[in-house]
Amino acid sequence: MARVLILHASVGSGHKRAAEALAAAFARRMPGQVRVEDVLDYTNPLFREAYAHSYLRLTDKLPGLWGYVYEQTDRDLFRFTTEIRALVDAIWTRGLRRLLRSYQPNVVVCTHFLPVEVLSRHKSRAHLRQPLYCVLTDYSAHAFWAYRDVDRYFVATEETRRELVERGVPAGAIQVTGIPVHPDVTEPKERAACRRQLGYDAETPLIVLFGGGLDPNRVRVIISGLLQRQFAATLVVVAGRNRGLLQELHDLTGNERLRLVKLGFIDYVDDLVVAADLVITKAGGLTVSEVLARGRPMIIIDPIPGQEESNADYLVSVGAAAGIRLPQHVPFAITQLLSDAERLATMSHDATRAARPRAALEIVETILSDIGERRV
Would you say 21 and 69 are in contact if contact means Cβ atoms under 8 Å apart? no
Alpha carbons 81 and 273: distance in angstroms, whole number = 40
pLDDT at 264: 94
Confidence class of residue 84 from pLDDT cuts 50, 70 and 90?
low
Residue 90 has pLDDT above 80, yes or no: no
Query: Under a CB-based contact definition with an 8 Å cutoff, are residues 77 and 144 in contact?
Result: yes
**Residue 116: C-alpha distances to residues 123, 150, 161 (Å):** 10, 8, 17
Between 9 and 65, residue with greater pLDDT: 9
The reported pLDDT for the residue numbered 375 is 46
pLDDT > 70 in the chain, percent: 85
pLDDT digits (tens, 9 = 90+) for 182-222: 999 999 999 999 999 999 999 999 999 999 888 899 999 99
Looking at residue 376, its pLDDT comes to 33
Task: Write down the mean pLDDT value for the chain.
Answer: 87
Longest dimension (CA), the chain: 68
* Whole-structure pTM value: 0.89
User: Which of 47-51, 110-114, 364-368 is predicted least confidently?
Assistant: 47-51
* Long-range contacts, stretch 97-101, CB < 8 angstroms, 24+ apart: 98/42, 99/5, 99/37, 99/42, 100/5, 100/128, 100/130
Across the range 99-122, mean pLDDT stands at 88
pLDDT in tens, 237-278: 999 888 889 999 999 999 999 999 999 999 999 999 999 999
The length of the chain is 376
Report residue 272 CA to chain centroid gap: 18
**Cα Rg of the chain (Å, integer):** 21
Do domains 3-181+357-375 and 184-354 share one topology? The answer is yes
* pLDDT at residue 52, rounded to an integer: 59
Encode pLDDT of 36-78 as tens digits.
999 888 877 766 666 655 555 555 665 665 555 656 566 654 4
Distance CA 91, CA 363 (A): 30
pLDDT tens by residue, 135-171: 999 999 887 888 888 999 999 999 999 999 998 899 9
Question: In CATH, what is the architecture of 3-181+357-375?
Answer: 3-Layer(aba) Sandwich (3.40)
Residue 322 has pLDDT above 90, yes or no: yes
For the cut 80, the answer to whether the pLDDT of residue 374 exceeds it is: no
The pairing of strands 206-210 and 278-281 is parallel
Kindly report, residue by residue over 275-291, the tens digit of the pLDDT: 999 999 999 999 999 99
Q: Which CATH class is domain 184-354?
A: alpha beta
Q: How far is the C-alpha of 5 from the C-alpha of 13, rounded, in Å?
A: 19
pLDDT at 243: 80
Is residue 31 very low, low, confident or very high in pLDDT (cuts 50, 70, 90)?
confident
Domain chopping of the chain, boundaries: 3-181+357-375, 184-354
Exposed, middle or buried by CB within 10 Å (0-12, 13-18, 19+), for 170? exposed
The pLDDT, as a whole number, for residue 172 is 95
Query: Tell me, what's the pLDDT at 43?
Result: 78
